Amino acid sequence: MTPMRTAARTVAATAAALLLPSLLTGCVVDGGWLGGPAAPTTSTEAPATTATAASTPAPEPPATWPVNVPVQPGDCDPQAPDALLVTFVVTAQDPSAPIEISYPGFTPSVSGEPRTITTTGPVVTILGNDCGPGVAAEPWTFTATGEVGYALSCAVFFNGFPLRADSDYVEGPARAASVDCTGRPGM
């Protein structure tokens, strides 16, 4: 094959690669950089009608995740500038399965007061600020249990550092999955 034929095939292949997407989408590629004038643009699409737009139902908005457990009255403010932030996260495969979560509450007089809530996932976050009277003498209890499909997990962070993580995987029919992220800084 001669160099002239090879160059001609290369130019033809390049032109085809540039023009093929425009032919498929109804748009025209500006070929000015190839040395020729840009091709005129034409629209082959039908204008949208209000009847078509009105007949298509709007998609459901996604659920708001994560589920953020609110701070209880009297709790330390987790958004305080000097907060010792404790973050507890539970994830579950089934967004509708109830999950029982035990977690510590932090008040100025108590570090790690036990609390229990029942909520659904798939992601649950609890923020706390350990502004209590000093280092907790006992570990903080962080557990989650639920009749979930497939998996349940938990993770605890203290001031951004991972403290503990656990997961439980359910294979087959739903059964009670349980995770335990109990711990405290320094353990």
Query: 103 and 153: one domain?
Result: yes
Q: Are residues 89 and 148 in the same domain?
A: yes
| Same-domain status, 100 and 173 | yes
Residue 42 lies in a domain: no
Range of the domain at 168: 67-180
Q: Per the domain annotation, does 59 fall within a domain?
A: no
Signed CA dihedral, 121, 165, 72, 129: sign only: negative
Residue 61 included in any domain: no
Judge if 6 and 74 occupy the same domain: no
Mean pLDDT of the chain: 73
Tokens 């404790």 correspond to what residue? Answer: 86
Band of residue 182 on the pLDDT scale cut at 50, 70, 90: very high
- 134 and 80 fall within a common domain: yes
Q: Is the pLDDT of residue 150 over 70?
A: yes
pLDDT digits (tens, 9 = 90+) for 103-139: 999 999 888 889 999 999 899 999 999 888 766 667 8
pLDDT digits (tens, 9 = 90+) for 154-179: 999 988 899 999 999 877 776 789 99
Looking up residue 151, the CATH number of its domain turns out to be 2.60.40
Beta bridge partner(s), residue 102? 116, 143
Beta-strand (E) ranges in the chain? 67-69, 85-92, 98-106, 111-120, 123-129, 143-148, 151-158, 161-169, 175-180
Shared domain for 82 and 155, answered yes or no, is yes
Overall domain count for the chain = 2
**Residues 167 and 85 placed together within one structural domain of the fold:** yes
pLDDT score for 57: 56
Report the predicted TM-score, pTM, of the whole model to 2 decimal places: 0.64
pLDDT cut 70: percent of the chain above it: 61
Instruction: Map tokens 């007089």 to a residue.
Output: 109
Q: Based on the domain organization, do 96 and 7 belong to the same domain? A: no
Instruction: Please indicate, yes or no, whether residues 76 and 139 belong to a single structural domain of this protein.
Output: yes
Are residues 79 and 149 located together in one domain of the fold? yes
Same domain, yes or no: 3 and 77:
no
By the 8 A CB rule, do 153 and 167 touch? Answer: yes
166 against 56, higher pLDDT: 166
Region 18-26: mean pLDDT is 40
**Measured distance CA(181)–CA(170) in Å, rounded:** 18
Instruction: Say whether both 10 and 75 belong to one domain.
Output: no
Query: In this predicted model, which residue has the larger pLDDT, 149 or 67?
Result: 67
Check residue 12 and give its pLDDT: 41
Over range 67-71, report the average pLDDT.
91
